[in-house]
Structure 1
Amino acid sequence: MDPKVVFETDRLIVRDWAEDDGDRVFDIYRRWEVSRWLGADPRVMTDRGAADRTIKRWNERNQDAVFGIWAVEEKASGTVAGTVLLVPLPEPAGAPSRGEVEVGWHFHPDAWGRGLATESARGAISRGFRSGVSEIYAVVRPDNAASLAVCRRLQMRSLGLTSRWYGAELESFVI
């Protein structure tokens, strides 16, 4: 069965993950140049089986009508360039939910510098707004120049540094 298409842009198909995407997921997240920006304690994916488990977990999350963690496939080549996500931001332990929503992106280095992160994030933001989300945040490590540039291209407003999410000091943006 083909994975469900979530939305399309001029160059991209954003869809649920397919079982045969495992090699690409592993190739993306085994790389320090990608994984170094993710989470409070960044680490690379160390075994191919972890990619299959990750795909399963993401697709379980993708059952939500609005939110998900999706594959970004290039129409021209059929190659999965990376991941785009639209998810509720996690609240610190014990804090009441504020319902804040995050847009994020993780791309293979062979997809960097071509505007694919911006294009897919713009589509995810549009999806969120059409679904009734009123504000969407991005959180980025302060030294991640490429993702900071994506936030600027998306015309997100900087809110400055915060340690509220993910147990790390991050630049926060909102649109």
Structure 2
Amino acid sequence: MNLQDFNSTRADELRPLLAACCDVPGWVDTILADRPYAELAALTKVADEAARALTNDEVARALAAHPRIGDRAQGGSTEAAWSRKEQSGVGDDPVAREALAAGNREYEQRFNRVFLICATGLSATEMLTALRHRLTNDDTTEAVVVHEELRKIALLRLAKAIT
């Protein structure tokens, strides 16, 4: 979809696409409310500011839409396809997959949420290194990191959606 199509498409038709970028209704509403956009940079700026303003509850809601790192998202949805591509660096190495699964379990026990990382362009080793490092964070620091990772994912997905 190009920017002109984005600007002219009915809001109810765009909601699923935007929710696949970041499943937070307020984020979606903010982006839709500022249409039309003269250029992609303006859209990206609004999306970025809206992502930075997400509350902890909104971040938690968005996390619920993300599969664990190393799990292959199932289904034919846009979000599932994006997730599979973003996590392509995990590969099919069973040792790496098991290490990530173990790290995910430890992370979820420690922070009571799914481990989220902007995985685009990262190898399984890089993801695992980041996971292990982030396990040393305190709760407040990790909440900030998760929010930033979610923001990066949302903006990358929006860029994929609007070409």
* TM-score, normalised with respect to structure 1: 0.25
Is the helix fraction higher in 1 or 2? 2
Name the structure, 1 or 2, with higher relative contact order (CA <8 Å, separation 6+): 2
TM-score, normalisation: structure 2: 0.27
